Amino acid sequence: MPAARLEVAGLSAGYGPTQIVQNITFDVPAGGRLAILGRNGVGKTTLLATLMGLSTRHAGSVRIGDVDLTRRRTSARALAGVGYVPQSRDVFASLTVEENLATGLKGRGRAALAEAYEMFPRLGERRRHLGGQLSGGEQQMLSMARTMLGRPSLLLLDEPLEGLAPVICDELMSMITRLAGSGDVTVVLVEQQIERALDFADRVLILERGREVWSGAPDALRADRALIERLLGVGIH
């Protein structure tokens, strides 16, 4: 399915009665690239989980394209075109790479697995290895390729570069950029590596204590070092 517009309005959510994100409103045009930034613990992961239907929604709405996802279950959101690569990667340790990938086919024939091996040739080399035998970078590739086999129109990426060597980060970001550049998928990226996120995104949203505190173009944020230090607590070169 083609890339879909994401519209989020007045979204408040958390776990049980606890609200973690509050009154979040933003939209991403079809084929757009949004980076969500913020210090640890400000609600970024909860926001992505809410878009996937994995948390408790207290208020607000979520739409992709013409579809209102607000009250839909996680499985229905996946069928509607939402792909989610969680921070935990969720690789099945006791299944082979190929068996892991097959769980993402969503009814497509096994011939489609070739797309995953084209995306990340390393997975083809390790197709008989168990998920638990892979390195962290290989597991991230597997999680991303498995999600993309479902042909999502919206891709949610939660800190895909966490704990990975720079050369693996380069490879992953190159693939994410190519996917976004294809025009076939809208990407929402949560990432702690600020410079890489700014290089990728065409729009940035910053959260603090579960609320939106800044949004704008990457170049505007990059030019304001004081703002970066105040909201993100990091320097940028």
Question: How confident is the model over 166-197, as pLDDT tens digits?
Answer: 999 999 999 999 999 999 999 999 999 999 99
C-alpha distances in angstroms, 175 versus 118, 126, 169, 170, 182? Answer: 11, 19, 10, 9, 11
Residue with tokens 């597991």: 139
Alpha carbons 136 and 81: distance in angstroms, whole number? 26
Q: What is the DSSP letter of 96?
A: B
What's the topology of domain 6-90+153-232? Rossmann fold (3.40.50)
Q: Which pLDDT score, from 0 to 100, does residue 237 have?
A: 46
Q: Does residue 23 register a pLDDT over 50?
A: yes
The Cα 176–Cα 182 span in angstroms is 10
Question: What confidence score (pLDDT) does residue 235 get?
Answer: 52
Judge residue 159's burial from the number of C-beta atoms within 10 Å of its C-beta, 0-12 exposed, 13-18 middle, 19 or more buried. Answer: buried
Task: Kindly indicate the confidence band of residue 233, based on its pLDDT and cuts at 50, 70 and 90.
Answer: confident
Decide if 89 contacts 139 (C-beta within 8 A): yes
Q: How confident is the model at residue 236 (pLDDT cuts 50, 70, 90)?
A: low
Is the separation of the CB atoms in 28 and 16 below 8 Å? no
Q: How far is CA 28 from CA 34, 78, 157, 227, 230, in A?
A: 7, 18, 14, 23, 25
Q: Can you give the length of the chain in residues?
A: 237
Helix, strand, coil proportions of the chain in percent (round to 5)? 35, 25, 35
pTM for this structure?
Answer: 0.94
User: Is pLDDT above 80 for 126?
Assistant: yes
The single-letter code of the amino acid at 22 is Q
